[in-house]
Structure 1
Amino acid sequence: MTVTKQTVRFNAHGLQLAGILNLPQNVANKNAAIVCVHPGSSCKDQTAGIYAEKLAELGFITLAYDASYQGESEGAPRYAEYPTARVEDIRCAIDYLTTLDYVDEDRVGVLGVCAGGGYAVNTAMIERRIKAVGTVVGANIGRVNRQVDPIAVLENIGKQRTAEARGAERMLVNWIPCNHEEREKAGMTDIDLVEAVEYYTTSRGQSPNSPNRLYFPSMSNVIGFDAFHLADQLLTQPLQIIVGDKQGAFGSYQDGHELYNKAASTEKDLFVLEGVSHYDLYDQPEPVRQAVEKLAKFYNKYL
């Protein structure tokens, strides 16, 4: 199905966020719509945009956007990762969709990839306009960043905030190594880190809106965040979880199983793709095809 792409902007907690609205051919009144949420360090033009376009080809209105403080969206300090803002971004994306005459406000879903999956889940707990929740290699970004000496990181963040309050420049760091040479020098051989460098820093997935920069003090907010907190009480919407069984340091396989077991949803499914890694589900044709096919059935049933 032919898809029309529209560049849009919408308000989110006082900021203008940049998005791509994907409209399937022959849009009629009261269509189902899906908000597509990108991973940490990513942008609307990468994996979230791939899923958004493919779901639009199957008849869904989809919206992928750059998170607050990142990409082409507004917000300072630049490159901050604030989980509360990320959750509010999703809610504001839904606000925007409900202003469109051709969107059925009672048929809105959310899809998140990697950290975007965790944010999608966390938002759905407090946002009842979300009727169906999908995650692809969804990860709990707080858990990921609590794995290695979080207290030491928090101590350093405190010192950096003090320095910045006294006039020092804002501290920007990299999410991942800038290239394979840098990764190898650091002795990083885990499959997720290897494939992250391959995806984000080469022609495979590189985007100017995803420059591998992170405002370091914002990581204290990430470390204190638990994407799945209260899922056993508040996450009741239908839930589709998709992971690959090739496990790496980011732990999406682990998080997928934890979320499945914890969620209060009575309609939930965990789909595990054999021989597939975290980043295979970002853009590799066959894993993505299988994921989209599963998601389309899910959203068609519950939206």
Structure 2
Amino acid sequence: MQELHLTQEWDKVFPKSDKVDHKKVTFTNHFGITLAADQYTPKDYEGKLPALAVAGPFGAAKEQSSGLYAQTMAEKGYLTIAFDPSFTVESGGDVRDVFSLDINTEDYQAAVDYLSNLDNVDPDRIGIIGICGWGGISLNAAAMDPRIKATAAVTMYDMPRVGAWGYFDKGTADDRYASKKQIAEQRTKEYGSKNLANAGGCYDYPAPDDQPDFVKQYSAYYKTKRGYHQRSVNSNAGWVLQSQTGWMNTKILVHPEDLKNAVLIVHGEKAHSPRYMGEDTFKKLTGDNKELLIVPNATHTDLYDGGDHDYIPFAKIDQFFKKNIG
């Protein structure tokens, strides 16, 4: 296990709860990468607990949305961890700020490995939560790993779909090829270099007027005190440009029929950027234990932290997990 130098002081973008105990933990995935996580445990409990692993949004830190979800669900009686994906924030991996559908799916499975071996966790009552791009990845993990008894995908993106076709499927094969050509040239240029170009994080707030509303919403979260964090990929330089091709020839949920355990997909009514991806993904799922919840008036980023109206349906999410792993 790689030795990680983890920040111990509370530096989240949300206040610390006095209803749970918190500590930093680490675990290793089967690629040998050590992952960093915040673990939240209810202060008063009896017996073995149900557990949840939380990640996302795509390019965020555990000090942002995933930590808020994890702490809130711990208040409701779950042992939870919010983890940083491989190669990002406080987790290991020699190359920084890159992503991989395969490795990031394994990150969830490694989190389940860790939770399954805790003395105070019931290994038959483990679920996961994925936010934004990690919503799609969480479903991918659940389809691969029957130990994941329930999955909540919140304001989910199908990142390979965006990578291949752009937003709202408006891209073309020629657009995709041009992007691949550009990145291939970048790889040649950067061969042997330790300094890889980044694709760029979110626009500084406020974003330019000519940008779509959902892009402006990202800036309003990641670039203001509402959600900014110094270790967040999106709050700073963004993903490494070379890694962008990693989504263009892959898919999530190649075998959706293998996802036999419970699923809850949550979207904001006004989350125009990813809502269509969640609704289309929901149509692929089989069985009678799948639910789709549309939150009235909420945008995509409202489900990151609740926005101005506490839009995150924590009561419904709790009800879903109580039914399936509680």
* TM-score, with structure 1 as normaliser: 0.92
Instruction: Give 3-state SS (helix, strand or coil) of 1:246's partner.
Output: coil
Distance 2:271 2:26 in 1: 37
Give the one of 247, 252, 265 matched to 1:222: 247
1:242-278 per-residue CA deviation (whole Å, 9 max, x = no partner) reads: 1011133x32x11221122111232111111111101
Distance 1:18 1:122 in 2: 21
Distance 1:75 1:128 in 2: 27
Distance 2:271 2:123 in 1: 37
Give the one of 314, 317, 321 matched to 1:292: 314
Please state how far the C-alpha of 1:223 moved relative to its aligned partner. Answer: 2.1
Distance 1:45 1:133 in 2: 21
RMSD: 1.8
Give the one of 176, 192, 200 matched to 2:214: 192
Structure 2 runs not aligned, ≥5 long: 1-17
Distance 1:243 1:260 in 2: 11
Please state how far the C-alpha of 1:227 moved relative to its aligned partner. Answer: 2.2
C-alpha contact 2:48 2:119 (8 A) present in aligned 1: yes
Please state how far the C-alpha of 1:29 moved relative to its aligned partner. Answer: 3.1
Bigger share in helix: 1
Bigger share in strand: 1
Residues 4-19 of structure 1: matches in 2 within 5 Å? 4-12=21-29, 13-19=31-37
Match of residue 150 from structure 1: 176
Query: Is 1:99–2:117 an aligned residue pair?
Result: yes
Please state how far the C-alpha of 1:175 moved relative to its aligned partner. Answer: 3.4
Please state how far the C-alpha of 1:156 moved relative to its aligned partner. Answer: 1.2
Measured at CA, do residues 163 and 128 of structure 1 come closer, stay the same or move farther in structure 2, by a change above 3 Å?
Answer: same
Measured at CA, do residues 27 and 225 of structure 1 come closer, stay the same or move farther in structure 2, by a change above 3 Å?
Answer: farther
Match of residue 130 from structure 2: 112
Q: Give aligned-pair identity as a percent.
A: 28
Give the one of 252, 263, 268 matched to 2:290: 268
Q: Which moved more, 1:143-152 or 1:167-176?
A: 167-176
Q: Which residue type is aligned with residue 27 of structure 2?
A: F
Measured at CA, do residues 59 and 151 of structure 1 come closer, stay the same or move farther in structure 2, by a change above 3 Å?
Answer: same
Please state how far the C-alpha of 1:173 moved relative to its aligned partner. Answer: 2.0
Distance 1:154 1:143 in 2: 15
Match of residue 236 from structure 1: 260
C-alpha contact 1:3 1:23 (8 A) present in aligned 2: yes
Please state how far the C-alpha of 1:163 moved relative to its aligned partner. Answer: 1.9
Match of residue 163 from structure 1: 189
Q: Which residue type is aligned with residue 187 of structure 2?
A: R
Q: Which runs of 4+ in 1 moved over 6 A?
A: none
Number of residue pairs aligned between Structure 1 and Structure 2 = 296
C-alpha contact 1:196 1:279 (8 A) present in aligned 2: yes
Residues 64-75 of structure 1: matches in 2 within 5 Å? 64-75=82-93
Q: Which residue type is aligned with residue 88 of structure 1?
A: E
Q: Which residue type is aligned with residue 23 of structure 2?
A: Q
Distance 2:192 2:89 in 1: 28
Instruction: Give 3-state SS (helix, strand or coil) of 2:296's partner.
Output: strand
Match of residue 60 from structure 2: 42
Q: Which residue type is aligned with residue 259 of structure 1?
A: T
Structure 1 runs not aligned, ≥5 long: none
C-alpha contact 2:163 2:245 (8 A) present in aligned 1: no
Please state how far the C-alpha of 1:128 moved relative to its aligned partner. Answer: 0.8
Please state how far the C-alpha of 1:17 moved relative to its aligned partner. Answer: 1.0
Distance 1:280 1:44 in 2: 17
Q: Which residue type is aligned with residue 236 of structure 1?
A: K
Give the one of 15, 20, 31 matched to 1:3: 20
